[in-house]
Structure 1
Amino acid sequence: MTDFPSFEIPGRTALVTGAARGIGRAIALTLANAGADVAIGLRDASADAGLTAEIEALGRRVLPLQMDMASPEQIRAAVDAVVERFGRLDILVNNAGIAPGNPAEHVTEADFDHTLAVNLKGTFFASQAAGRVMIRQGYGRIVNLGSQAGAVALPGEAVYCMTKAAIAHLTRCLAIEWGPHGITVNAVAPTFVETPGNADYLAEPANRAEVLERIAALHRLGEPMEVAGAVLFLVSPAASLVTGEVMLIDGGWTSR
């Protein structure tokens, strides 16, 4: 093998769920910048916050989609729409997720069911719908958004941690099952990142100080583009031999 590693993905079509803001938005823009056309899954397809225009400004085609990850029907319809519009689906990034903080003794059945519906059930059925397309193509790249919370315990986040641990193992299972079809399945597991979803928690000085202390090696929060860079690597030709892996992007948190 004499070719140098490539991180460009021209001619590919990607679907990024939960793309309206934060990490999902950064991933969508990063994949477009690397050459992919991008479908953006949104809980409200009319509220893309300018993302469509930003992707088009990069010279790529874009398709906003109504895609509530708690609805398998919307998931299947969104994947069908991608194939109808672009003719194929090469990359799926399962970014959408929720993290309602709640001490275990106060979790209701409704809380439990909704978190699993979005984080775990949604990830599985989006992977299934995309996987069926990728099996027909003989090619695909799936990246799941895990979390350091899948490897370490976060107080008040028992249900969230459970879903992210499950996603780590789902990633391995799908990698083994779909590898013979030319599909790789990996996950990235970030630490606390500066996003709207973390803003309220990190606005509390005590919470922010504790998080910075626990990010043991770098002592700083992550940025969405730092997660997007890892996703780009995993869907690029440079990572063609990488599958079934969960890449921690945690600034040293879990090495402590």
Structure 2
Amino acid sequence: MTTPLLDLPLTARPLQGRVALVTGAATGIGAATTRALAAAGATVAIGHLTQINQARRVLAEARQLGSDGIEVSADLTDPDAADRMISQVTSELGPVDILVNNAGAYPRQSWEQTDERTWAHALDVNLTIHYRASHAVTPGMLRRQWGRIINVSSVNARAGRPGLTAYSTAKAGLIGLSRSLARELGPHGICVNTVLPGAIQVDTENTLPTHHRTHPQDQIARQCVPRRGQPDDVAAAIAFLAGPTASFITGQSLHIDGGWLMN
């Protein structure tokens, strides 16, 4: 499956002239989102932690789609890293118009084994780092009176799941962050939304311990659409929310889960 935007002629590029930063962009949903934004004409910054080879592959794909960009390595758990990242992107590409907060981790831990350290880490890598990135891009968006912030949450924010209490709590926090920022920043032409992917087929699921995996057919049975979700499904929705035709959509939480949960 390919993102619909990838099939558009290069003349149909609604994000031409915009700079988009995607965190966690070297693989999975982040990589697919970067490609979709590049296909729509955006200049892309590929945020990652240590995945430089994967990030460079995504950058090469963006260039094949007719857009330029850079890869940016940043450990966003460092409170100062977001400001440095935004400064680098602004210096090399221009002010950030579109921020996709996608970076995160998927820590599995039973409630009984969830201690203070585990809890704090899950909230830091799945919520606090997105506060930092959003806070860092806001001054520039306010000056230009235009911007898009899109937070990648999870259906687990609403469904809950054993072993994912801290993760689900952090992802639910992104919904509150998006809604509050939408109210505060909306008068300045900045739209803030959340996407909630369901069971998306990504390579990292193969690294989970066997007892933490859901059989694909069991997951498909929960959905209205009987197939596995793909990163491109999420990327297409993000690219729409980032574009000019979504200027009247803000504070929303969009499920991309094949009808697993009805919102």
**Considering the TM-score relative to the shorter chain, is it more than 0.5?**
yes
CA contact (8 A) 2:21 2:45 kept: yes
CA deviations on 1:224-250 (whole Å, 9 max, x unpaired) are 000000001101111110000010111
SS at match of 2:229: coil
Displacement of 1:109 in angstroms is: 2.2
For residue 251 of structure 1, what is the amino acid of its counterpart? G
**After the TM superposition, which of the residue ranges 194-203 and 130-139 deviates more from structure 2?**
194-203
Aligned equivalents of 1:77, 1:41: Cα separation in 2:
12
Q: Which of 34, 42, 46 is the matching residue for 1:36? A: 42
- Give yes or no for the alignment of 1:54 onto 2:87: no
Task: Tell me which residue corresponds to 1:211.
Answer: 219
Displacement of 1:220 in angstroms is: 2.2
- Give yes or no for the alignment of 1:83 onto 2:93: no
- Return closer, same or farther for 1:109/1:90 CA change in 2, 3 Å cut-off: same
CA contact (8 A) 1:69 1:117 kept: no
**After the TM superposition, which of the residue ranges 52-61 and 246-255 deviates more from structure 2?**
52-61
CA contact (8 A) 2:19 2:93 kept: yes
| Structure 2: 5+ residue stretches without partners | 1-11
The percent of aligned pairs where both chains have the same amino acid is 38
Aligned equivalents of 2:176, 2:30: Cα separation in 1:
22
CA deviations on 1:194-228 (whole Å, 9 max, x unpaired) are 1122224497785333322222x113220000000
CA contact (8 A) 1:120 1:166 kept: yes
- Give yes or no for the alignment of 1:73 onto 2:80: yes
| Structure 1: 5+ residue stretches without partners | 1-5
Task: Tell me which residue corresponds to 1:111.
Answer: 118
Task: Tell me which residue corresponds to 1:142.
Answer: 149
Q: Which of 2, 11, 26 is the matching residue for 1:20? A: 26
- Give yes or no for the alignment of 1:123 onto 2:130: yes
Aligned equivalents of 2:32, 2:214: Cα separation in 1:
28
Displacement of 1:50 in angstroms is: 1.1
What is the correspondence of 1:199-238 to structure 2 with a 5 Å cutoff? 199-201=206-208, 207-215=215-223, 217-238=224-245
For residue 254 of structure 1, what is the amino acid of its counterpart? L
Task: Tell me which residue corresponds to 1:178.
Answer: 185
- Return closer, same or farther for 1:45/1:219 CA change in 2, 3 Å cut-off: closer
CA contact (8 A) 2:69 2:93 kept: no
For residue 150 of structure 1, what is the amino acid of its counterpart? A
Displacement of 1:45 in angstroms is: 6.0
Task: Tell me which residue corresponds to 1:194.
Answer: 201
Task: Tell me which residue corresponds to 1:99.
Answer: 106
CA contact (8 A) 2:20 2:37 kept: yes
For residue 96 of structure 2, what is the amino acid of its counterpart? L
CA contact (8 A) 2:13 2:41 kept: no
- Return closer, same or farther for 1:147/1:17 CA change in 2, 3 Å cut-off: same
CA deviations on 1:11-48 (whole Å, 9 max, x unpaired) are 11000000010000000011001000000111026332
Aligned equivalents of 2:204, 2:134: Cα separation in 1:
24
For residue 149 of structure 1, what is the amino acid of its counterpart? N
Task: Tell me which residue corresponds to 1:156.
Answer: 163
Aligned equivalents of 2:186, 2:141: Cα separation in 1:
11
Q: What is the aligned-residue RMSD (CA, Å)?
A: 1.9
Task: Tell me which residue corresponds to 2:6.
Answer: none
TM-score by length of 2: 0.90
Displacement of 1:59 in angstroms is: 2.2
Aligned equivalents of 2:79, 2:171: Cα separation in 1:
19
Aligned equivalents of 2:172, 2:164: Cα separation in 1:
12
